[in-house]
Structure 1
Amino acid sequence: MAESKLNVLMCGTGEYTTGWVGSGASTSDKKVGVVGLTCFDLRRLGKIGELAMVGVNGKKYPQIRTHLQEKIADVYKDLDVSFKSYPDDNTVDAEAYKQAIDDRKAGDAVIIFTPDSTHYPIALYAIEKGLHVLVTKPATQLLEHHQHLIDAARAKGVVCFVEHHKRFDPVYSDARARARTLGEFNFYNSWMSQPKLQLETFKAWAGKDSDIRSARHYYLDCGLELTKRSTSYYLNSHHIDIHTWIMEGRGVPTRVVASAAKGIATSDEFGCVPETEDTITLLVDWESVDSDKHRGTAVYTSSWTAPLKAGIHTAQHWYYMGAKGEIAVDQAHRGYDVVYDDTGKASFNPFYMKYSPSETGHFDGQRGYGYVSIEKFIDAARDVNAGKIKASDFDKHGLPTIANTVLTTAILNAGRISLDQKRPVLIKKNGDKYSLE
């Protein structure tokens, strides 16, 4: 069966999808977004057919379309930025995603970049309609929900990936392969932070706007706990996934203890809700699956209250020590610095998304790992639709499928419980399922 173009619904209209943050173009390293730009280019290249976008506030669409026209269509040659939108331009509807998904057919795809607490209900609704799903990290906030998505995707035979783009960073990918040659795991330490200005983008997600209220109503109606967004879910998810990827088939996390710093995000300057933490550290015990003599320790730290003028948008580094060697990776400073008179030194990462046009004037970022992570999902969904492979087969390929990323959610969920209840949390495995105690 020949591969056909994949129809795609982009769920979420914010920074990562469009580069638009309400007050204008984002000031981060995603000034024109990632998802929308990638999908527009993949449509140009013949992999994507119809494109649609759904958000909560349709009144934003006129500004978003103007932004996309000026920042993308007017910059890159032959790039069509049109899309069908939900809800209409005069409507605010927190459940518009349901109509948008209902209008798709089985075998179409949904890419979800929405507040953390909405990932589960949207992804489940799409999967049950027979749609392929790419959901941003964290896949879910609760381990129970993550495992439910695994079961649902397998039952429907659809692709469900988590957008852990760091797996496609060539340095991280190479380091992972080398780490697996270093014998038993001993110690891992990771750091990821973003400047305080990022709080302006995310503080509305702490329970103030309709995006998250819709999710709260869904969770309460179902008798489920709503877990708040935190810097750990947002940032620690990156490097926890890299470590669980390194440890795949070799070790399991068994115990999580969390600690948090507070006071900056909740200050008058930023005005986040009282529960908001600034910096979160998870201390995690790991056990080898091959040796009863070996145990390891991991320390994962994340913060969204870093200084404003550090010259980087995301500070990110990690260190791995095994029985036969060590690896250190600093992906914030890649030997590529630019100095501006007004703002000083800045370190850039063109390996994530390259925004400068090609020599012909076309978009030229197809090799960026932000682009590749989305393209891998599009290719996987098209291959399944064409009958070339079963969706479950991707679990064997080291890709960030919903099944291959379950331990990341287990650690994050355990960390949240540890913070809220001020106690260690155990991770237990029963058959092919995990539980928290």
Structure 2
Amino acid sequence: MSDQKLNVLMCGTGEYTTGWTGSGASKSDKKIGVVALTLFDLRRLGKVDQLGMVGTNGKKFPDIRQHLVDNIGKVYRDMDTTFDAFPEGDVINPEAYKDAIDKLSSGDAVVIFTPDSTHFPIALYAIERGIHVLVTKPAVQLLSHHSELVAAARKHNVVCFVEHHKRFDPVYSDAKARAATLGEFNFFSAWMSQPKSQLETFRAWAGKDSDISYYLSSHHIDIHCWIMQGRAVPTRVTASAATGIATSEPYNCVPQTEDTITLLVDWQSLSSSKHKGTAVYTASWTAPLKAGVHSAQHWYYMAEKGEINVDQAHRGYDIVNDETGKAWYNPFYMKYSPSESGHFDGQRGYGYVSIEKFVDAARSVNAGLTQPADYDGHGLPTIANTILTTAILNAGRISLDEKRPVTIKHENDQWILE
């Protein structure tokens, strides 16, 4: 690996990037965020150089800077929390990302954690300027946009990953390897939920710009697509939704907001015409408030020769507190407690690894050691490797809106929906 460091622009200033929400520090399990903390640490370790952060409202940055100093800079040794901010001052500019990206050079990188509906324009703007891109899930909302990003990343020879961090969870990745030994796929069921309090965090866009299926089911749909890669393809999607909680007091989300969305998906084996499978993916953001976990998450996989059952909400690690009761924690995702020397100690968490893998890939391509296309063959969540996840999510949205099943087809080297 070259010793050339990577300059990175963080797009989005919210909970996942900084741990800061409009009403103060997040009350979730990401109180000091994931993205900025990881990049500050990668800068400490010599992989990253200049950092920037872009939002739409410059007024937020003084509070964000103070929050990062208090909760990261003063907590971990040798942690520099400085970054360039866009827009500066009391400015509101929904297209500030263009000014920020225009200041980057070819070979720099952007990490996009913004509302789902904004991923495509930001990612495309960066790719067309020779910038490497890591975009959070769902990559985009339309299959056509996903295909456009695949083509643009190839044309401009840049790394484009989707931040599907569940692929780096050691349980999920081990289960994926074991699934390959169980023969033809038969049935998959996934459940993922977050408490109703998330609707307060996401009220600005919940139901308007995106839905709970795009936001949460994208995790498990991607895991299933990853397990099935080269073995089976989705062919038809039928969606159903529960409503009434998000749109009522005290959340008052827009009238079209669903509470819980279920996608029923038909799968066809690529090696046996008689083997078909079914999958059921359900996600909700109206789970109870005191369940003891932030994200309930489990899935079940059944095949010809066996089954796999994964519960990643309860990892054999629970804590009881007089004030709050019983809670299950997940230090495998992000470990926030400092090391013996007082430094950040979460480098093995899969939330961190996911971002580091992207940084390493971008640096390797910049050094001429690898090509972006190489990573498509590594089982990594590249933009090319994640297209069927978008196909299923997009088909699910059409199915809900038009109250009909949607077919997924592969024609002329393109995935299309009918």
Shift of 1:268: 2.2
1:390 aligns with 2:371: yes
Please name the residue that 1:268 is paired with: 249
Report SS of the residue matched to 1:189: strand
Contact 2:207 2:256 in 1 (8 A): no
**Post-superposition offset of 1:101:** 0.2
User: Residue in 2 aligned with 1:147?
Assistant: 147
Q: CA deviation at 1:419?
A: 0.2
Runs of 5+ unmatched residues, structure 1: 209-227
C-alpha separation between the residues in 2 aligned to 1:232 and 1:122?
22
The 8 Å contact of residues 16 and 35 in structure 1, kept in 2 or not, is answered as yes
Matched residue of 1:205: which SS?
Answer: coil
Contact 1:105 1:131 in 2 (8 A): yes
Cα deviation for residue 206 of structure 1 reads 4.0
Report SS of the residue matched to 1:135: strand
Contact in 1 for aligned 2:13/2:54 (Cα 8 Å): yes
Give the number of aligned pairs: 418
Q: d(CA) in 2 for partners of 1:134 and 1:294?
A: 35
CA contact (8 A) 2:199 2:206 kept: no
Tell me, in whole angstroms, the C-alpha distance in 1 between the residues paired with 2:413 and 2:320.
Answer: 52
Output one character per residue of 1:123-164: Cα deviation in whole Å (capped at 9) or x when no partner: 000000000000000000000000000000000000000000
Q: In the alignment, residue 311 of structure 1 is paired with which amino acid?
A: G
Match of 2:309 among 322, 328, 335: 328
* Structure 1: distance between partners of 2:393 and 2:357: 25
Q: Name the counterpart of 1:216.
A: none
* Structure 1, 18-27 or 154-163: larger mean CA deviation: 18-27
Deviation at 1:3, TM superposition (A): 3.7
**Aligned match of 1:221:** none
Structure 1 residues 207 and 255, CA, compared in 2 at 3 Å: closer, same or farther? Answer: closer
In structure 2, C-alpha distance between the alignment counterparts of 1:133 and 1:107, rounded to whole Å:
10
Structure 1 CA distance for aligned equivalents of residues 416 and 346 of structure 2: 40
User: d(CA) in 2 for partners of 1:325 and 1:351?
Assistant: 27
Alignment partner of 2:278 out of 276, 290, 297 = 297
Distance 1:431 1:394 in 2: 24
The CA distance in 2 between the partners of 1:148 and 1:154, in whole Å, is 10
Determine the C-alpha separation between the residues in 2 that align with 1:24 and 1:346. 23
Name structure 2 gaps, 5 residues minimum.
none
SS at match of 1:204: coil
Supply the distance in 2 between the matched residues of 1:207 and 1:279 (Cα, whole angstroms). Answer: 12
Letter in 2 for 1:136: T
Structure 1 moving runs of 4+ over 2 Å = none
1:396 CA displacement: 0.6
Contact 1:57–1:92 (Cα < 8 Å) also in 2: yes
What residue identity is the alignment partner of 2:245? I
Alignment of 1:90-109 (within 5 A): 90-109=90-109
CA distance in 2, matches of 1:272, 1:318: 29
What RMSD over aligned residues (CA atoms) do the two structures have, in Å?
0.9
In the TM superposition, residue 207 of structure 1 has moved relative to its aligned partner by: 7.7
Deviations 1:37-89 (A, max 9, x none): 00000000000010000000110000001100100000000000000000002
Q: Tell me the residue number matched to 2:337.
A: 356
Q: Deviations over 1:93-114 (max 9, x none)?
A: 0000000000000000000000
Contact 1:60 1:89 in 2 (8 A): no
Structure 1 Cα separation of the partners of residues 8 and 118 of structure 2: 19
